[in-house]
Chain A
Amino acid sequence: MTSIHTDVQIGICGSAGDGTIAVGDILKRAMARAGYRVIAFDEYPAEIRGFGKCVARTRITTEQVYSMKPKTDVLVSLNDAHAIPHAEEVRDFGAVIYDSAPISMIDEGWHISGHLNPGQLPYGLPMREISEQATGSNRSRNIVALGFVAGLYQLPRQAFVDAIAAKFQTKAAEVTQSNVAAFNAGYDNGAEIYRFDKVEVGPPARRTRGHDSTMMTGNAAVVRGCLDAGIETFFGYPITPATSIMERLAVEMPKHGARLLQTEDEISAISATMGAGFAGARAATATSGPGFALMSEMMGLGVMAEVPAVVFVSQRGGPSTGMPTKTEQADLNIAVFGGHGDAKRIVLAPTNVEGCWRCAGRAFEMAEAYQTPVVVLLDLYLSNRYETVVFPKKTPFVRDACKRPAQDKHNEPYRRFELTGDGVSPRAVPGEAHGIHTATGLEHNEFGRPNDLSDMHFQMTEKRHEKLNTALKHPGITIYKRFGDTGDVDVGLLAWGSTFGETLEAMLLARAEGIRCAAMKVVMLSPLPVKPIKRFLKDCKEVIVPELNYEGQFANLVSGAVGRDVIRLNRVTGKPMAVNEILDTIRSAAGKRKMRKSAA
């Protein structure tokens, strides 16, 4: 058996109503079932009905990857008008599959076959006819097309049949039968074709025993992290792209005896979260940029009154209502700095779906251990994309991370905000006899009594800042990591959030071209691990910071902290960063070095 390392990216493009997202879903679920690693991200319009464009992209690999490829291997068009602009995404000797006999007439020049370059290989398929023959209706064009792709590349038929059955399990049995019939008809057609393209799919990786791999989105992983950390209360208000966190928790939390409430606005959501955190429960809320802006005053209270709370913020295109269904990384500033006063908080930004789970779980520990609000910063791309993830069967998250008052000090009056070496004071919660105190947004003394003497404000401000530095050494979470070449490199990449996936991919491609290159991901944005970043930058002749915002918010943060300028790669297209653009920037940065060298 030849061992082909599978790395195939399939894009399906259609109009809303064509079933584009639905077949993309079956594809990724089937391939995950068959044991492949999957990453998938759908593009869809903000409108619920209408004729917007949908694109479902799935990358299928042997080992887990964290970004889309610069070029797609296979493009399926369910609607040529929408798919034509995506034809150029298909690589040379990749495949373009389209309906050779579409439902309605297509005007001259609007057929995708006329827009392919000579290297791309067209497969015209009478999707409508096949669907009608197999099911008596033309409604299963999308499933026929999916079957064709599966047949063409000899993908495991049974995994697809199972995935189709699972998808329609709540519907009548005929629905599944009819869809399987459409799939099989497409599959048989694809299997008969003599292929010219150079797309190859190998067998899946052998499964590791004792580890169950599941495929889920970033938001689903957040939910899993919350449950594994023993979340007790959740308060939220719907907002894209964070809503699915609350929706999923609403189903799951009651099973664990936990309570969820949809509040009247984001201000109440964070207020109730703080209330529950003050009363000793593991509490969280989830929102996006506009909602987080409303929460910023309460974040200040959380910092001042030292209340544990976890806030998930999934970024979307902004400012204001912006682009609710498009991705962006422009809320770093508000996450790290948002609010009034010296209100430092912990901010974690996972870079992949597994990280969403880990950051969610550790966020609860950190909020409790350092008695402060913790922001977990996601973005639409990370919230909505699917990856195959492997979770340990037993939760690694600590259930009680709170520093408790000593039992032998009951004769002394309780100092809720006692000044200690690490800035963390022993914390009592309502219901405990020794520990009665009032938490306040006013500056206060160690007992929590209002006090605005200058020394007191200085000491307390220092305490609230210094205690967070301990978080840099919090166990069980990678807050930064370097990849690629070790030692001195020509080009270093520094990235955060979902963009790190594309950054890593570009770095690996650059190394394959012979450029000495390394990439560092930074997961903890506040407090920033300044020392490791400085060490990394020292090794890099040029530093590139790719991110999805216009101002270079992370570049500003890093430059300010380490005192060195960086090459900024900023894109605000509403889409994930293109690997090619990062690669081009690496090449030009490396080239610039060479030119300078030869000039000298």
Chain B
Amino acid sequence: MSPEHPVYLEDKLEEIRDSGRLHYRSKSLPTWCPGCGYYSMTEGVTWALNEIGVRNEDVVVVSGIGCASRFPFFMETYGFHTLHGRTLPVATGVKLANDKLTVVVVGGDGDGFAIGGGHIPHVARRNVDITYLLFDNGIYGLTKGQVSPTSAIGFTTSTSPFENHDQPLNPLMMLLSYGASWVGQAYAGQPEHLAKMIRAAIEHRGFSYLHILSPCVTFDKTDRTYRNLDFSVRNLPEGHDHTDRLAAIHEATKVDQPAVGLYYVEKRPTLSDTLDEIVVRAGGKPAQQAGAG
């Protein structure tokens, strides 16, 4: 900030107000720790919704349990704060009930890959038209710092006092092999890129999975910190073919230098498309216009 161009609070507030993002923010203030990566998520989602121009009442944010699960309360949209690990089936029900809704699922690594891991393959293979924003901080934050399925080997936490010995999962490889039709990665320390990725994920027609590297500033001082991630995170190589699943899996194996960007995308019928086709085959009339949202 140069002294020739001082930034006044009023100007900054006006700028934020004009950006349209506040239109999607509720009056509740986020309860996350200062510096938490989830603030970037809130910014990204509100920016993306504003860019897309979807109406507030046509958005449903579904969350489970964990730090990320408080997200719906900070949004001026419909929200369903559900159970630990059950976001994806709940969101499936919401979407099938009303295709016009834009359904965004938010959750962390414990919610998604520990207790809720069984649902991911099925929502991916069915290609439910929802967006899954997974904030991976490699730790259980809300219960104050326990080991998670994506914690690194050697990571010490309150429930792994003798270090974590379990191989961490590779979520990107899992999603790519499960058949997710949109797989990408972003980093909370790059909020503008993150916001663009969120927009692309929401705009994708089908199941989109965005893996977001996000430091836990309170319970992880050693491993997945902003400092470490700033150093290791890179972009996907130029010329990465995001229609090539094998190339995407190959990139996903490079866990020490995680790459951000769009790994893989494909076009195929969504679950709603399939169910409407069944209705037509049975001689019925589809009650909804699938994928209108």
Contacts and interface: CB of A to CB of B under 8 A. Distances in A.
Nearest to A438: B79
Interface residues on A, range: 35 or more
Residue from B83, B91, B285, B286 with most neighbouring chain A CB atoms (10 Å): B83
Interface residues of B, number: 51
Contacts of B237: none
Interface stretch (B39-47, B97-105, B209-217): B97-105
B289 to A, nearest CB: 11
A254 B282 contact: yes
A394 interface: no
Contacts of A278: 80, 90, 93-94, 97
A272 B118 contact: no
Given A264-B122, A297-B83, A272 B93 contact: yes
B58 A301 contact: no
B284 A275 contact: no
Contacts of A277: 93, 97
Given A261-B92, A279-B93, A431-B57, A255 B282 contact: yes
Interface in A320-346: none
Contacts, number: 162
A510 interface: no
A491 to B, nearest CB: 47
Interface in B154-202: none
Nearest to A309: B93
B60 interface: yes
B239 interface: no
A298 B65 CA distance: 13
A277 B89 CA distance: 13
A439 interface: yes
A271 B98 contact: no
A258 B96 CA distance: 10
A441 B93 contact: no
B96 A441 contact: no
Contacts of A387: none
A138 interface: no
B119 A264 contact: yes
A177 interface: no
B72 interface: yes
Given A257-B286, A261-B271, A305-B80, A268 B122 contact: yes
Interface stretch (B12-20, B131-139, B273-281): B273-281
Contact of B79 (A269, A298, A432, A437): A437
Nearest to B125: A264
A275 B93 contact: yes
B252 interface: no
Describe A's contact surface by its main secondary structure: mixed
Contacts of A442: 81
B14 to A, nearest CB: 25
Contacts of A267: 86, 89
A271 B116 CA distance: 12
B118 A431 contact: no
B96 A259 contact: yes
Contacts of B93: 233, 235, 271-279, 283
A442 B64 CA distance: 11
A271 B86 contact: yes
Contact of A268 (B56, B75, B119): B119
A274 B83 CA distance: 11
Highest count of chain A CB atoms <10 Å: which of B121, B122, B275, B285? B275
Contact of B55 (A269, A273, A433): A433
A254 B277 CA distance: 9
A266 to B, nearest CB: 10
Contacts of A449: 28, 73
B57 A430 contact: yes
User: Top 10 nearest A-B pairs by Cβ distance?
Assistant: A275-B93, A438-B79, A272-B93, A254-B282, A281-B97, A271-B89, A268-B89, A279-B97, A440-B81, A276-B93
Given A272-B90, A276-B96, 11 more contacts: A254-B279, A258-B287, A268-B88, A268-B122, A272-B96, A274-B90, A275-B94, A430-B94, A431-B100, A438-B80, A449-B28
